Structure 1
Amino acid sequence: MEMNDGDNEEFGLSRNYFLAKELRGSGKRSHSKLSDIDVVDEQELIAAVSKIEPKHEKEVKELMNSYKSSYPEWAFELRCGLGLLMYGFGSKKALLEDFASTSLTEYSVVVVNGYLPGINIKQVVAALAELLWDQLKSKRKNPGSSSKVQQPFSSRSMDDLLAFLDEERKNECFVCVVIHNIDGPGLRDSETQQILARVASCSHIRMVASIDHVNAPLLWDKKMVHTQFNWCWHHVPTFAPYKIEGMLIPLILAHGNTTQSAKSATIVLQSLTSNAQSVFKVLAEYQLSHSNEEGK
């Protein structure tokens, strides 16, 4: 079987590629170690970061102001029962809070900082119920005519709270929940996302949220996206720095206390494949059971 010029050229390129890979693999390997990295003190690194001058402040401010023209559209979508989901590069914290303070004055608003690791979702739902109850009391013609004395919402079950938020009433009272980073570490587990989806589907709740993680949409199934959250997606890149959101992220390349080192190690381990994690687990278990031996 004869080969034409095109086949010869393709064969030559393929052969050169594999030869280059072989030669590169046979070269000398680096003897550098992770321990050779000159790690600075944590406070010194934080001080150095704080001295970095922000760039393009004027352009970022103009971009943020340009979104103000969309506020009426966003407010209308909320009134129609849609949930607003903001995505795009840059911190959206200031944008969402400005939108809430200027265009959501008809609602009671609860702000949830999803970037915080220790969020109690039960307390968030109880706070929403408290605000809704206050609105209902203020609109009731005879406040003293309530048939039952309300049990404290903090002591109610989650199902009772959700039923209260979703109860059909003649009064059109709404509570808006603004969630910064609904994909944050404190809200990322499946159970919490299921609760948030149920909250968003309640008749007296309106939800505005932001996401930043590239895999955030994988948190939800089709029912959650289109039926419960009922997201209306808005691409709103701000290019604003994640100053507040990034305050709790461990500085991996900095000396710190034992807790900080443990957090840094956890981040590194989570970035590995499952097989690599299993290998490190075996090594750690061996080292713990042979504490008299020096690690190599």
Structure 2
Amino acid sequence: MEIDDFDMEEFGLSRNYFLAKESRSSSSKKSVNKLSDIEVLNEKELEAAVANIEPKHQKEIYALKDSYKSSYSEWVFKLRCGFGLLFYGFGSKRALIEDFASTSLTEYSVVVVNGYLQSVNIKQVVACIAEVLWDSLNPRRKIPKENMSILQQPLSSQSMEDHFAFLDGSWTEENDCFVGVVIHNIDGPGLRDSETQQCLAQLAACSNIRIIASTDHVNSPLLWDKKMVNTQFNWYWLHTPTFEPYKIEGMSFPLILEHGNTNQSAKTATIVLQSLTTNAQSVFRVVAEHQLSHPDEEGIPISSLYTACRECFLVSSQVTLNSHLTEFKDHELVKIRKNSDGADCLYIPLPKEALEKLLSEIN
């Protein structure tokens, strides 16, 4: 009797499961919601609302930051031993690192790099560090003959290889003499690409350089391989949560809830495109490149787009192209208007500058 009851209960659960699946499959899978339907604030209203937010737990945050000061001497010792310091944890670590550098690294030259800015130029950073090291050297110090050629020409005109050779040179007799390079947000948007991270790792491996950096992105360790972490950067990881807001770091990012302007529209389009397939991105690129090269036209005719995509092996049929176009139109990435011949043409509702930036992002 118990076995029969169990079988009936199991049958009921299975039946309900398949009924739920059938009901779900019969409903519409495509969402009718659009980003443009969201009611957003303008910039002034949003900034005023953010400014009125009262900070909480200030005493506890101050006590937490003050407790880190007892570790300053230990951090300096780690730098002298050849380690790089990597600060991680919730909250902005900008004030903490700068307080450490200004109070405990007074014997050394320090260069600050704001990695949270998107306009960071790594070549200019390396050249600046080389100039700081050059200025800190004693003019009477003996320079090896094999390295004299590096210093006979202005540092600004030298190549990156010459800069690294200079930063890694045996200019000092003391083992603990170095230039401290503070990098706020080494995982920032202007430093995330592989080439820049390789350059920073090469910089960290120089004998006269010590890196003091902060990181906030959850996937930051994926930027480095085993050699970069253990040999070049030689990180000493410091868990230093501060629970402070990212006020300075967040100023360079567009406000998510701000009323849609050109920059925000381009950013939104980038996020949508990155979620699509590679073929869909390539089809969108064909539309964008045609629009940039033919600014006086109403757009690209759908028939011309199909021909161009067939030639590039992006689509195999009109049905495939239509599925991509439906997705574009649902997310308002493209719109349709008629040209002088009455043919339907596709165009992207973005100005030239924003469209160029969008293409560089998806590339």
Q: TM-score range by the shorter chain?
A: 0.7 to 0.9
User: 1:33-182 to 2 correspondence within 5 Å?
Assistant: 33-137=34-138, 140=141, 150-172=152-174, 173-182=177-186
Query: 1:209 maps to what in 2?
Result: 213
Q: CA deviation at 1:262?
A: 1.7
Number of residue pairs aligned between Structure 1 and Structure 2: 290
Instruction: Output the amino acid matched with 1:171.
Output: E
Read off the aligned partner of 1:278 and give its amino acid letter: Q
Q: Offset of 1:85 from its aligned partner?
A: 0.8
Report the equivalent of 2:284. 281
Which structure has more relative contact order (CA 8 Å, sep 6+)? It is 1
How much does 1:23 deviate? 3.4
After superposing the two structures, state which structure 1 stretch, 191-200 or 62-71, moved more: 62-71
**Contact in 2 for aligned 1:42/1:256 (Cα 8 Å):** no
1:83, 1:200 within 8 Å by CA — same for their partners in 2? yes
Partner of 1:218: 222
The residue number in structure 2 matching 1:23 is 23
Between 171-180 and 256-265, the greater mean CA deviation after superposition: 256-265
SS for the counterpart of 2:250 is coil
Change beyond 3 A, Cα 1:125–1:60 = same
Distance 1:154 1:117 in 2: 23
8 A contact 1:252–1:264 mirrored in 2: no
For structure 1, which segment, 67-76 or 225-234, has the greater mean C-alpha deviation from structure 2 after superposition? 67-76
**Contact 1:113/1:179 (<8 A) preserved:** yes
- Shifted more, 52-61 versus 194-203: the winner is 52-61
State how far apart, in whole Å, the 2-side matches of 1:258 and 1:239 are. Answer: 33
Cα deviation, residue 43, structure 1: 2.4
Deviation readout 1:125-154 (Å, 9 max, x if unpaired): 111111111121356389xxx967642211
Compared CA separation, residues 76 and 16, structure 1 to 2 (3 A):
farther
Secondary structure in structure 2 of the residue aligned to 1:111: strand
TM normalised by structure 1 equals 0.85
Identity of aligned residues (%): 65
Choose 1 or 2 for highest CA Rg.
2
* 4 and 84 in structure 1: CA distance in 2 versus 1, 3 angstrom threshold: farther
CA–CA distance in 2 between the matches of 1:19 and 1:283?
A: 44
Alignment partners' CA distance in 1, 2:7 and 2:135: 78
CA drift of 1:106 comes to 1.7
Paired residue for 2:293? none
Uncovered stretches (5+) of structure 1, i.e. residues with no partner: none
Q: How far is the alpha carbon of 1:243 from its aligned partner?
A: 0.6
2:236 counterpart SS class: strand
- Alpha-carbon distance, 1:79 to partner: 0.5
Counterpart of 1:163, as a letter, is A
The match for 1:227 is 231
Q: CA deviation at 1:20?
A: 3.4
The worse-fitting range, judged by mean Cα deviation, of 241-250 and 37-46 is 37-46
5+ residue gaps, structure 2, are: 291-297, 302-336, 339-343, 347-363
Asked if structure 1 preserves the Cα contact closer than 8 Å seen for 2:192 and 2:223, the reply is yes
The alpha-carbon deviation at position 267 of structure 1 amounts to 3.8
How many Å apart are 1:27 and its aligned residue? 5.2
Equivalent position SS for 1:177: strand
Counterpart CA distance in 2 for 1:214 and 1:90 is 13
* Range 158-167 or range 35-44, more displaced: 35-44
RMSD value, Cα: 3.2
Q: Which of residues 197, 200, 206 in structure 2 aligns to 1:196?
A: 200
